[in-house]
Chains A and B, each alone.
Chain A
Amino acid sequence: MDKTTRLIGNAHLDPIWLWRWQEGCAEVLQTFRSALDRLKEYNDFVFTCSSAAYYQWVEEIDPEMFEEIKSMVRRGRWVPVNGWWVQPDCNMPSGESFARQALYSQLYYYEKFGITCKTGYNVDSFGHNAMMPQLLKKGGMTSYVFHRPCPNENAEIPENLFWWDSADGSRVMTFKIPDGYGTDGKNALDYKMEDINRRTEEAGHGMMLFYGVGNHGGGPTKGDIEYLIENLEREGYNDLEFSSPDAYFEEMLGQFLDLPVWKDELQHHASGCYSATSLIKALNRKAENALAAAEKWDTISSIVTDSAPKTKEFEDAWKKVCFNQFHDILCGCSIMEAYEDCKESEGYALNIASESYNNAVLKIARKVDTWVEGISDAVLEARHYSGAREGFPRPVIVFNPHSYEVNMPVRMYHPSKAVTDSEGNEVLFQNVRSSRSNDEHLDTLFMAKVAPFGYATYWLESDNVQADKELSGENNFFMENEFVSVELDSETGYIKSLVNKETGVDYAEDNFLSIPTVIDDHETDTWAHNVFKFHNIKGLMELVSIERVENGALRSVIRTVHKFNESYLTQEFILAKGQKTIKVDCKALWQEKFTLLKFAFPVGGKKEISTYEIPCGFIKRPCDGDEEPALNWADLTVTKNGNRMGLSVISDSKYSYDCPGAELRLTALRNVIFADHYSYRPDANFNFTDEGMNRFSYGIYLHSGEAEESVIVKEAHLFNNNIVAVPEGYHKGTLPQKDCFLYTNADNVVITALKRCEDGSGDLIIRLYETKGLENTRCYIMSKLFDNGFWFDIKKHEIKTFRVDHNLKVKETDFLEGIPD
């Protein structure tokens, strides 16, 4: 058995943390220069470094040094690891984000160095979701290195070397760094050598010893290297060898090891990071969704209108989003000033998304036949009616970026007298109060039914609309539709009745629900180091006012205002026809220092289990009150009065929940000091992460049975991705008034990417995943984009990427699109 200790010379580089990115960039340049110098000075020394973003900085700023690095990579002396753009937070990015991290990074490494990274390396990230093995594997990596959480945070995770499996069956060989990713100085190295030696003897196989100055870069020092050289064959110790993670894992694969297998997530380290600094989290969610939706329609549009896709623009945009997923950024624990930079780069990405999206759908809209016989050339240019002709309804084309058929309200910023679909059928609509003070103050909401990846034309009659005198109707606080009824309490403003009409079960039978709860959080830092529960209730927000705002044919709205000290929370509870989810739009003016704001849903009941969305899947966790990360939704399912029933909370921008028993709580705000790292907090005028105005939305969805048997994934996707309505003029066109460009038969499959291949071939890339944990489903996809379809079998929690070429041959590939040989 090989017991050699592999010495991994590395430099952990935070491009943003207690400094802004400009300093991070400089730190990269200095560290890389230093590493090159050390490589020239010491023939056996090997340098390992992650993050394609850093290499791109060097390539652009110092091309000569980049050539030196290329040379060292060719010689195996410099080993790039982690085929991702940065070392991201590994809880909050979406599955599609992880795909893009791999796509752009591995292709960059392949283009520049002729290699792809085989080792995933997130040595500082604060937790690692349970789908990581699949995300790594499909990004071209077969092994993984991580450090957190430490044994004091989770003692159950195997130490040292183990197999890590995700629920789909993907597996990576994983090394848990025992003593930190960096070190310098003789004493620290001595300690590590001692510890590694002990671990080697206990485990019976070799280990890796990571050294080098990190965080603010630096890398291995001369002193480190020379001390290690002196001790390569130290008496009483296993031999040391300068090496790389790739080489270590290759060596271990050749050993006869019966390693432990871990089939769970790797949590928790910094539980406060799932909620700190709402701004960056909201931007991340918004950018992920906007780019995915825009690229889908850009792809469709480029094929339908025979125009060039904006693949390169999307690459640039995604790289910004990927960069901002760096763990210290997305986790909200960097300095406040850094988030100004993040806003700029997220804005860059969002702008590309919105422009591309708009161009794409308009190019299609221009080809839709909206001509109406009798239209004259004369245009009534009444205010806000641009393009409409008097006496004629106006066409509006609605585009659906989902692989689901949608039937949901769409807003147009004008009032209407009637709405019809492309067959002339009357469509449910409602004029609602607009956000402007001008004119009649009314917008139109109408119910749009649109095919997956399709569009539909609606006709809005807008002549001589009279404003309703009373939009809100009678002033009670009860709303209902086909699926659910909800009543708010006039004294507290909390939900006092919440009935799933399918089962008749009232979820608020025993307790009020959606209680805005203020939690004390003054004893921890931004990360909440060593704190995993936030249960110290300061108080509940008290009702200031409650009123019914709307009560129309399409939807009802009730507004509540709550107060806690000098902080205010306005909530608009919205229930529309045909919708299974109650939407709550929130406006929080927050001034409470060292607090969290949670919305509590104490459903009660027994056999409680909580389920959370993770990238391309879900995970079940015990209801032990630990703060937990989640993507779009979290769910509490209980048995109550003999019914198995669940309540899910969906969010448009939040990632943090807890479940203390049969109670689910969404953590909406966390207002702590920026970058407060085990601080003594000197008397200073600190800025706080969530102080000021916060706007966000959450949704409430009820189901019977287990969460995964419900349509929560679909509801959460619809909640987070709006369909787009485009006002159109009258013109002849080659396209019908409604169409569908791509669909799948499977209701447990969601398509997350529809794009062109990065190699410029024009091949179509379709990525999807299985949502319900079903064992093996026979599915097909049909598409007008390539005038055929294909069959596939998908396993539980599996992510699949398909590539369709011009000749209609279909390959199943991975995140790298089959580009590297």
Chain B
Amino acid sequence: MAQPIKLYPHLTRVSSHYKKYDIEVPKSLLETKPKKPDLKDFPYPLPLRKKDYTCSCQGNNGVMWYGGEGGVTRYDPNTKSLYDVVMYFSAKRDLMDNSVQNIVADGDGVWVLTASGVTHIDMVKMTSEEKAYKLLEETLTYVQRHGMVSQKRLSEASNLKSALPYGHSDNDGSFSSAYAMGEIFHYATLKREKGDYAEETLRAREVAFRASEAALLLMYVAGRGDGFVARTYLTSQEPVPDDGIFFKKNGATASCINTTDSRNKNIVGLEVKADAPIPERLRRCYTSEGFEDTDITYKADTSSDEITHHYMHLLVAHEFLGCEDPEYDLLLKTAATNTMNHIIDNGYLLRDATGKPTTWAKWCEEYFNTGMGWADACLNAGEILMYLRVTMHLTGEEGKFQKAFDELCEKGYDKLTVKHFDRFFQSSLSGGLDVREEIMYGDHMLAVLSFWGLATLEKDEERKELFRQAFRSWRTSLADEYTPAYDFPYFLSDPENAKPDEERIRTWFYRFNVSRLASNVSMTTRRDLPVRTYMGGYQSLSALPTNDERFIAKLDRDPLEYKDEDSGGVFCVESCYVYTLSYWLGRFFGFIEECDE
């Protein structure tokens, strides 16, 4: 891109809830007669029917607020952005409930009386960078677990302070790696802009290393010594859920814990080697909290999702952390080499303690020729080629890895990557589904990481063009999301086809909530967003809603999905990585820049 997209300080919504007669609540809210708005000639689509609006007020700069049965609408007649002209506020992310009885202005914000209480909606002017820091702070305070981030369960709905000290995600390795990449770009950006020793830089360095180490630990923590990567791990202070395959480390070995899945596989009590050394600086992720190796229970049956995130994290960490910390760089290289060897030596599989491949980590031709693998093959072929390229880049060793790369290309893996849409379309249609309802949205990130990595590292121009084609094949569904963490790597990989929609990118950052606390929105009450039903019954919206008006999720859901519920439910706070990865990646590569008003 010739010029970075300028991000200006922008209003961000922040809601605070009160009891009706709280001393903070202005009397006028309770005593003034609601003023019914005149919406006869309202020039833009309204989220509710006009007859549903029963109260209104005027705020600063001509901004109008309308309330009624269904929530609150803000109208800014002076904004230049089509995305900001009408905003919708709904329960329970913005309001306690949707029965709005009265509304009074408060500067840029508004007081809202609803059936169950009072909400103060503050429109806080902040920069996109400030937002990144606030979100990071929330994640560090409430979400991170031994340095890993995915999400945290809450004991009370929508109460951040009730976050439980434990709780894992099946994909901790993926999300933690993505978070780590964001913080590494954060550090790299500050290092470039503010210098190595600025206070903010040093703080960012600390966060980046901690995030990176936590992710890297998962490539060592199983202690099998064969490069096997754990999905995640728990300490002895955390309950083991009945969700997957877990091994409790007992010293020289680890034994499989009794869960439904392990019983089904008949591996309860199965012993596996667990005494391979774990680098001390990585062990500190749990030893610093008072835990020992024998306190660790790790989750197995790791999927290609984790491996793909880990390898791209290895590349980014090598480039920005490894270069200034040779000891750490060696850990990165060793992890890359060990896991790569594991995969190659096991016939392009990740092999679990049972000796069988894990459910989803398969990059071999045999898998590609199965019903399930046929459509997956194009992504998985890209993944394994990316791992090999990253490993060679990190280690400088080409022998075995180059041979494997060449052999896979000889088998057509590189050319296979471009067939993604064709195969996926056929697979979807054969199941009576449209692509949108068949696709695993988490695969989007895997495709981005794989083809970004390959387009970056591949030196053969002809093959690089194949990988760009593969990336373009994924754009058929990726492009709809306007997620900067997907778009920026694509623009980097395929600059000739980079056509950034500046206003949408700007809006994505501007309209991101300043908290990842889940509490749902009221999408299904809206009248201004058409709903489309696909062949298999899946429903999505005809217009992409802004971040602050749609459900909260990781980068593994369709942002157009027609639903109210945040993906973690109301007993959840998600991590910041969706925003921070997008923001710092964009800042580092010059897609965005902060500007004064």
Contact B45 A790 (CB under 8 A): yes
Q: Mark A777-789, 1 if CB is under 8 A from B, else 0.
A: 0101110000111
Asked if A809 is at the interface (CB within 8 A of a chain B CB), the reply is: yes
* Distance between Cα atoms of A610 and B430 in the complex (Å): 38
- Find chain B residues with CB under 8 A from A812 CB: 530-532, 542
- Find chain A residues with CB under 8 A from B544 CB: 793
Asked if A39 is at the interface (CB within 8 A of a chain B CB), the reply is: no
Asked if B2 is at the interface (CB within 8 A of a chain A CB), the reply is: no
Partner-contacting stretch, out of B421-429, B454-462, B568-576: B421-429
Asked if A375 is at the interface (CB within 8 A of a chain B CB), the reply is: no
Given A163-B422, A787-B50, A811-B532, are A782 and B527 also a contact pair (CB < 8 Å)?
no
Q: Write the nearest CB–CB distance from B66 to chain A, whole angstroms.
A: 13
Q: Write the nearest CB–CB distance from B436 to chain A, whole angstroms.
A: 11
Q: Write the nearest CB–CB distance from B480 to chain A, whole angstroms.
A: 8
At the interface, is chain A mostly helix, strand, loop or mixed? Answer: strand
Asked if A142 is at the interface (CB within 8 A of a chain B CB), the reply is: yes
Residue B423 contacts which of A258, A791, A800, A808 (CB distance < 8 angstroms)?
A258
Residue A780 contacts which of B44, B504, B527, B531 (CB distance < 8 angstroms)?
B44
* Distance between Cα atoms of A808 and B527 in the complex (Å): 6
- Find chain B residues with CB under 8 A from A793 CB: 480, 542-544
Name B532's closest neighbour in chain A (CB-CB).
Answer: A812
* Distance between Cα atoms of A793 and B82 in the complex (Å): 12
* Distance between Cα atoms of A191 and B527 in the complex (Å): 60
Asked if A171 is at the interface (CB within 8 A of a chain B CB), the reply is: yes
- Find chain A residues with CB under 8 A from B480 CB: 776, 793
- Find chain B residues with CB under 8 A from A173 CB: 426, 429
Contact B527 A809 (CB under 8 A): yes
Q: Write the nearest CB–CB distance from B530 to chain A, whole angstroms.
A: 4
Number of interface residues of B (CB under 8 A): 33
Q: Mark A246-277, 1 if CB is under 8 A from B, else 0.
A: 00001001101111010000000000000000
Asked if B21 is at the interface (CB within 8 A of a chain A CB), the reply is: no
Q: Of B50, B430, B476, which is in contact with the most chain A CB atoms at under 10 Å from its CB?
A: B430
* Distance between Cα atoms of A253 and B433 in the complex (Å): 12
Asked if A504 is at the interface (CB within 8 A of a chain B CB), the reply is: no
Asked if B49 is at the interface (CB within 8 A of a chain A CB), the reply is: yes
Given A163-B422, A259-B422, A782-B43, are A790 and B83 also a contact pair (CB < 8 Å)?
no
Asked if A227 is at the interface (CB within 8 A of a chain B CB), the reply is: no
Contact A810 B479 (CB under 8 A): no
Q: Write the nearest CB–CB distance from A722 to chain B, whole angstroms.
A: 29
Residue A790 contacts which of B374, B422, B530 (CB distance < 8 angstroms)?
B530
Q: Of A163, A261, A791, which is in contact with the most chain B CB atoms at under 10 Å from its CB?
A: A791
The interface size bin for chain A is 35 or more
Asked if B528 is at the interface (CB within 8 A of a chain A CB), the reply is: yes
Asked if A802 is at the interface (CB within 8 A of a chain B CB), the reply is: yes
- Find chain B residues with CB under 8 A from A258 CB: 419, 422-423
* Distance between Cα atoms of A788 and B504 in the complex (Å): 24
Interface residues of A in 752-792 (CB under 8 A from B): 775-776, 778, 780-782, 787-792
* Distance between Cα atoms of A811 and B527 in the complex (Å): 10
Name A172's closest neighbour in chain B (CB-CB).
Answer: B429
Contact A789 B419 (CB under 8 A): no
Interface residues of B in 435-485 (CB under 8 A from A): 476, 479-480
Contact B542 A800 (CB under 8 A): yes
Q: Mark B70-83, 1 if CB is under 8 A from A, else 0.
A: 00000000000011
* Distance between Cα atoms of A781 and B46 in the complex (Å): 11
Asked if B24 is at the interface (CB within 8 A of a chain A CB), the reply is: no
Asked if A169 is at the interface (CB within 8 A of a chain B CB), the reply is: yes
- Find chain B residues with CB under 8 A from A261 CB: 422
Name B501's closest neighbour in chain A (CB-CB).
Answer: A776
Contact B422 A780 (CB under 8 A): no
Name B81's closest neighbour in chain A (CB-CB).
Answer: A778
Residue A776 contacts which of B43, B479, B530, B532 (CB distance < 8 angstroms)?
B479
Asked if B499 is at the interface (CB within 8 A of a chain A CB), the reply is: yes
Interface residues of B in 178-194 (CB under 8 A from A): none
Contact A253 B476 (CB under 8 A): no
Residue A256 contacts which of B45, B83, B369, B501 (CB distance < 8 angstroms)?
B369
- Find chain A residues with CB under 8 A from B28 CB: none
* Distance between Cα atoms of A19 and B476 in the complex (Å): 48
Q: Write the nearest CB–CB distance from B411 to chain A, whole angstroms.
A: 14
Q: Of B50, B83, B499, B527, which is in contact with the most chain A CB atoms at under 10 Å from its CB?
A: B527
- Find chain A residues with CB under 8 A from B164 CB: none
Contact B46 A778 (CB under 8 A): no
Name B47's closest neighbour in chain A (CB-CB).
Answer: A788
Using a CB–CB cutoff of 8 Å, the interface residues on chain A facing chain B are 142, 163, 169, 171, 173, 250, 253-254, 256-259, 261, 745, 775-776, 778, 780-782, 787-793, 800, 802, 807-813, 818
7 contacts between A and B (CB under 8 A): A782-B43, A782-B44, A788-B528, A789-B528, A791-B528, A811-B532, A818-B533
Name 6 extra pairs, CB < 8 A, besides A261-B422, A812-B531. A253-B430, A778-B82, A791-B45, A808-B49, A810-B528, A811-B532
